[in-house]
Amino acid sequence: MSQTITEKIFSEHIGSKVYAGEIVRSPIDMVIGNDITTPISIKAFEQSGATSLANPDGFALVLDHFIPAKDIASANQARISRDFAAKHKLKNYFDEKDMGIEHALLPEKGLVIPGDVIIGADSHTCTHGALGAFSTGMGSTDLAFAMITGGNWFKVPSSIKVVFTGKPSEFVTGKDLILEIIRILGVDGALYQALEFTGDTIQYLTMDDRFSLCNMAIEAGAKSGIVAVDDITREFLADKNLRAAPKEHFSDEDAVYTQTIEIDVAALEPVIAYPFLPDNGHSITTAVNDNIKVDQVFIGSCTNGRLSDLKIASEILKGKRIADHTRMIVTPGTQMILREANKLGYIDILVDAGAVVSNPTCGACLGGYMGILGDNEVCISTTNRNFVGRMGSRTSKIYLSNSAVAAASAISGYITDPASI
Tens digits of residue pLDDT in 131-171? 999 999 999 999 999 999 999 999 999 999 999 999 999 99
Q: Which residues contact 220 (CB under 8 A, 6 or more apart)?
A: 181, 182, 185, 186, 187, 188, 189, 190, 195, 279
217 & 283 share domain: no
Give the span between the Cα atoms of 3 and 84, in whole angstroms: 40
Cα maximum dimension of the chain: 62
Arithmetic mean of pLDDT, 395-421: 97
115 & 61 share domain: yes
**pLDDT value of residue 223:** 97
Arithmetic mean of pLDDT, 235-247: 96
| pLDDT band per the 50, 70, 90 thresholds, residue 33 | very high
248 & 275 share domain: no
**pLDDT value of residue 263:** 97
- How buried is 240 (Cβ within 10 angstroms: 0-12 exposed, 13-18 middle, 19+ buried)? middle
Reply yes or no on whether the pLDDT at 421 is more than 90. Answer: no
154 & 19 share domain: yes
203, 231, 263 - which closes a domain:
263
340 & 233 share domain: no
286 & 412 share domain: yes
| pLDDT band per the 50, 70, 90 thresholds, residue 1 | confident
Q: Give me the CATH number covering residue 133.
A: 3.30.499.10
Tens digits of residue pLDDT in 182-197? 999 999 999 999 999 9
Evaluate whether 178 touches 213 at the Cβ level (below 8 Å). yes
Arithmetic mean of pLDDT, 276-295: 98
End-to-end CA distance of the chain: 53
211, 230, 263 - which closes a domain:
263
**pLDDT value of residue 97:** 86
105 & 26 share domain: yes
- How buried is 153 (Cβ within 10 angstroms: 0-12 exposed, 13-18 middle, 19+ buried)? exposed
16 & 56 share domain: yes
Reply yes or no on whether the pLDDT at 309 is more than 90. Answer: yes
Give the span between the Cα atoms of 195 and 103, in whole angstroms: 18
Give the span between the Cα atoms of 338 and 24, in whole angstroms: 41
Strand partners, 159: 194
Reply yes or no on whether the pLDDT at 66 is more than 90. Answer: yes
Give the span between the Cα atoms of 126 and 264, in whole angstroms: 24
**Average pLDDT of the residues of the chain:** 97
Q: Pick 67 or 173 by higher pLDDT.
A: 173
**pLDDT value of residue 285:** 97
177 & 304 share domain: no
244, 263, 282 - which closes a domain:
263
79 & 174 share domain: yes
Q: Which residues contact 38 (CB under 8 A, 6 or more apart)?
A: 61, 80, 81, 84, 121, 140, 143
What's this model's pTM, rounded to 2 decimal places? 0.94
**pLDDT value of residue 385:** 96
Give the span between the Cα atoms of 241 and 111, in whole angstroms: 8
Percent of the chain at pLDDT above 90?
98
Arithmetic mean of pLDDT, 197-217: 98
288 & 379 share domain: yes
**pLDDT value of residue 142:** 96
Tens digits of residue pLDDT in 319-373? 999 999 999 999 999 999 999 999 999 999 999 999 999 999 999 899 999 999 9
| pLDDT band per the 50, 70, 90 thresholds, residue 388 | very high
130 & 276 share domain: no
Give the span between the Cα atoms of 169 and 371, in whole angstroms: 31
CA atoms within 13 A on the CB side of 231: 2
Arithmetic mean of pLDDT, 76-80: 95
Interior angle at CA 116, CA 85 and CA 198, nearest 5: 135
Tens digits of residue pLDDT in 84-103? 999 999 999 999 888 999 99
Domain that holds residue 173: 5-263
**pLDDT value of residue 379:** 98
Q: How many domains does the chain have?
A: 2
**pLDDT value of residue 329:** 98
Backbone angles phi, psi at 88, to 5 degrees: -100, 5
